[in-house]
Amino acid sequence: ALVTGGAGFIGSHIVDELLKREYEVRVLDNLERRVHPKGKPDYIPEEVEFIEGDVADKEAMKRALKGVDVVFHQAAYQDYMPDFSKFFRTNVVGTAMIYEVIVEDGLEVKRIIVASSQAVYGEGQYECPEHGFMMPPARSREQLDRGEWELRCPLCGRIMKNLPLKEEHVNPYNQYALSKYSGELTALRLGYRLGIPTVALRYSITQGPRQSLYNQYSGICRIFTLRLLNDKPPIIFEDGLQQRDYVHVDDVVRANMMALEDERASYQAFNVGGGKATTVIEYAKLLAHKLGKDIEPVIPGEYRFGDNRHSVSSIKKIKDVLGWEPRKRLDEIFEDYIAWVRKQGDLRAFFEEADRLMRRMRVIRRRRA
């Protein structure tokens, strides 16, 4: 089995599970410096064949795919930085390269599981009380500068209700979402055309041990935990009422294995999510409780341009087709992550540099008074 991005958060857990199932495992990973500033992580098992290289590099992909039966394509570029072309080079060209090399070298790859993202839904799926189902455009800077956080119907201006995100409606807007959907579509269509069973899994916010402490994209579990452990309050964007769903990395790995083993999944995209909406304020307070910190979050009226207001995936399709549903609750996610973070040494430097960089790039902005 080949795991691209196998040094990363989700990929490394897939590697562990494949080894338990007695697969011979090869990893292709470029050890992106912003995610792996110290190089190859020490949690990569010795028995894994490790190739340091880029998924968009044909020679690296040729070495990686040789003799492989199944591919778990987890490599991706994820960040909030405006280096747009890098997203497409890694997330689209890197995906196309797998199929290009398979055809060019006449390889007998039997199945490909591709990591996609909840981000493909863009601003999401909504219902207007008067005009029904809507997929609104992303919120403008002007709206966010006014501190108007909720989505309004573009026809009548009324506040709309967010709906659980279903697989059939996508609406990507930012560079990450556009590149992930382009990569997913490339994989599913080329897979079908070439007769290589391919499955795309659209992960919700995945959390657990080994989430990069350096990459700002690692999200609020990392940021809030680091602040609380340094006795600083979590800083919440917008008003804290935005909804998200969270899934444990172990549950994501299990979804990958089910997609590998069940032919009914072929050529389809599935949400892999937590199945439950949680507001950011609820999240921050539960995390503080788990850490034993009596620190209230701060809501300064800032926003991160490009964030969606609400993102909660429906998991009905994967439950109906594959029988998958999450086993670990949010409090268990916190327990596993906190236990791992406490082993990582001095935590002060991790969150400060990423936050400074985002402010310098004007990704984080304050609403107008």
User: Mind telling me the catalytic residues?
Assistant: 176
3-state SS track over 71-96: EEECCCCCCCCCCHHHHHHHHHHHHH
Q: How close are the terminal C-alpha atoms of the chain, in Å?
A: 54
Handedness of CA 244, 251, 320, 70 (dihedral sign): positive
Do 159 and 152 touch, CB atoms closer than 8 A? yes
State the DSSP string of 174-236. SHHHHHHHHHHHHHHHHHHHHT--EEEEEE-EEESTT--SS-GGG-HHHHHHHHHHTT-PPBP
233 CB-near residues (< 8 Å, 6+ apart): 227, 295, 296, 297, 298
E-state strands within 21-125: 26-29, 49-52, 70-73, 111-117
User: Structure tokens of 120?
Assistant: 């493909």
CA–CA distance, 319 with 313 (Å, rounded to integer): 12
Number of Cβ within 10 Å of residue 182's Cβ equals: 19
Spatial CA neighbour of 312 closest among 221, 247, 230: 247
CA–CA distance, 244 with 262 (Å, rounded to integer): 28
User: Structure tokens of 156?
Assistant: 């009548």
User: Structure tokens of 335?
Assistant: 């327990």
Return the amino acid letter for 206: T
